[in-house]
Structure 1
Amino acid sequence: MTLVAFRYWLAGMSLALATLVTPLSTAQAISPLGGPRFAAVLMDADTNEILYAEQATAIRHPASITKVMTLYIVFDALDAGRLRLDDRVVMTPRAVSQRPSKLGIGVGQSLSVEEAISVVAVKSANDVAVALAEKVGGSEENFARLMTAKARQLGMRQTVFANASGLPDPAHFTSAQDIAILSAAMIRHHPDRYRCFSEQSYSYGRLRLANHNKLLGVVPGLDGIKTGFTNDSGFTLTASAIRGGRRLIAVVLGSPSGWQRDRDITTLLNTGFTALDIRRNGGIEDMPALLSSAGFTLNRSLRPVPQLATLDVEEGDGE
Structure 2
Amino acid sequence: MPVALWAAPFAAYVMDARTGEVLYEKNADTRLHPASLTKMMTLYIAFQAIESGEASLDTMVTVTAHAAGQAPSRLGLRKGQKIALRYLIRAAAIKSANDAAAAIGDHLSGDEAKFAARMNRTAKALGMKNTTFKNANGLTREGHLSTAHDMSLLGRHLLYDFPQYYNLFSRRTADAGMAHVANTNRRFLDAYDGADGIKTGYTVPAGFNLTASAQRGNKRIIATIFGGTSPAARNSKMAELLDLGFERAPNRVNTQKPEPPMLMASAESEIAGPQVEAAQEAEEGDDEAVKLAAAAAGAATVAARAGAPDQLAEAAGLKRSPRPTARPAAAAAPEPEPVQLAAADPATRPAEKPAAEPASEPVAEAVAELVQVTAPQPETLAMIAPADETVESQGDTDPSGPVFIQTATAQPETLAMGSAAQVPRNDTVILAALTPPAPMPEGKREVVARASSSGGRNWGISLGKYPSQYAAEQVLLKTALMESTALAQGLRKVATRKSGYDALFVGLSRGDADLACARLAARAVDCSVIGP
TM-score range normalised by the length of the shorter chain: 0.7 to 0.9
| Aligned mates of 2:47, 2:178 — CA distance in 1 | 27
Among 95, 102, 113, the alignment partner of 1:141 is: 113
Residue number in structure 1 paired with 2:88: 116
**Structure 2 residue aligned with 1:273:** 246
Residues 12, 225 of structure 2: 8 Å contact kept? yes
In 2, distance between residues paired with 1:127 and 1:159?
Answer: 22
Indicate the SS of the match to 1:249.
Answer: strand
Q: In structure 1, what is the Cα distance between the partners aligned to 2:178 and 2:39?
A: 24
Q: Which residue of 2 aligns with 1:298?
A: 436
The CA deviation string for residues 43-85 of structure 1, in whole angstroms up to 9 with x for no partner, is: 0111111100000101111000000000000100100001011
**Residue of structure 2 in register with 1:217 after alignment:** 190
Aligned counterparts of 2:225 and 2:449: Cα–Cα separation in 1: 15
Q: Which residue in 2 is equivalent to 1:14? A: none
Separation in 2, partners of 1:91, 1:264: 38
2:280 aligned partner: none
Over 3 Å counting, the alpha-carbon distance change for 1:56 and 1:262 in structure 2 is: same
Paired residues of 1:238 and 1:252 also in contact (CA < 8 A) = yes
Q: What is the RMSD computed on CA atoms of the aligned residues?
A: 2.0
> Which AA in structure 1 matches 2:75?
L
Of 238, 249, 268, which residue of structure 1 is paired with 2:211? 238
| Alignment counterpart, residue 50 of structure 1, candidates 4, 15, 22 | 22
Number of the residue aligned with 1:226: 199
How far apart, CA to CA, are the structure 1 residues paired with 2:139 and 2:145? 11
> When the two structures are superposed, what TM-score results if normalisation uses the length of structure 2?
0.47
Query: Is the Cα contact below 8 Å between 2:13 and 2:225 reproduced in 1?
Result: yes
Counterpart Cα distance in 2 of 1:150 and 1:99: 25
Map Cα deviations across residues 137-187 of structure 1 (whole Å, 9 max, x no partner): 111111111111111111110001000000001110011000111000111
Q: How does 1:299-318 map to 2 (within 5 A)?
A: 299=437, 306=450
Structure 2: how far apart are the matches of 1:88 and 1:206? 14
1:208 aligns with 2:180: yes
Q: State the AA in 2 paired with 1:114.
A: R
**Counterpart Cα distance in 2 of 1:297 and 1:116:** 39
* Contact kept in structure 1, 2:239 and 2:432, CA below 8 Å: no
Code of the residue aligned with 2:220 in structure 1: it is: R
Number of matched pairs: 262
The separation in 1 between residues aligned to 2:8 and 2:25, in whole angstroms, is 17
Cα distance in 2 between the residues matched to 1:300 and 1:100 = 35
Q: Whose helix fraction is larger, Structure 1's or Structure 2's?
A: 1
What amino acid does structure 1 have at the position aligned with 2:179? L
Per the alignment, residue 229 of structure 2 pairs with 256
- Which 4+ runs in 1 deviate beyond 4 A? 300-305
**Counterparts of 1:305 and 1:95 in 2: how far apart (Å)?**
34
Shift of 1:305: 6.7
**Aligned equivalents of 2:449, 2:12: Cα separation in 1:** 15
Shift of 1:267: 1.0
Q: Contact 1:141–1:162 (CA<8 Å) still a contact in 2?
A: yes
Cα drift, residue 204 of structure 1: 3.3
CA contact (8 A) 2:75 2:178 kept: no
8 Å contact kept, 2:73–2:98: yes
AA at the equivalent of 1:263: S
Structure 2 CA distance, aligned partners of 1:62 and 1:110?
A: 29
| Distance of 1:234 and 1:66 partners within structure 2 | 14
Structure 2: distance between partners of 1:70 and 1:255: 23
Residue equivalent to 1:311: none
Secondary structure at 1:66 match in 2: helix
Q: 1-side partners of 2:177 and 2:89: how far apart?
A: 15
**Residues 128, 153 of structure 2: 8 Å contact kept:** yes
Distance 1:302 1:81 in 2: 45
Out of 131, 134, 150, the position equivalent to 1:159 is 131
Question: For 1:9-58, what per-residue CA distance to the aligned partner results, in whole angstroms no more than 9, with x for missing partners?
Answer: xxxxxxxxxxxxxxxxxxxxxxxx96311000010111111100000101
| Unaligned stretches of 5+ residues in structure 1 | 1-32, 281-292, 308-319
Per-residue CA shift, 1:173-221, capped at 9, x if unaligned? Answer: 0110001110001111111111111111113357331111021132111
Give the Å deviation of 1:255: 1.1
Query: Quick one: which amino acid aligns to residue 73 of structure 1?
Result: I
Unaligned runs of 5+ in 2: 253-430, 442-447, 452-532
Whether the 8 Å CA contact 1:122–1:201 is kept in 2: the answer is yes
Is the CA contact 1:39–1:301 (under 8 Å) kept in the aligned structure 2?
Answer: no
Output one character per residue of 1:270-319: Cα deviation in whole Å (capped at 9) or x when no partner.
Answer: 22112236x77xxxxxxxxxxxx943333367598748xxxxxxxxxxxx
Q: Which has the larger radius of gyration?
A: 2
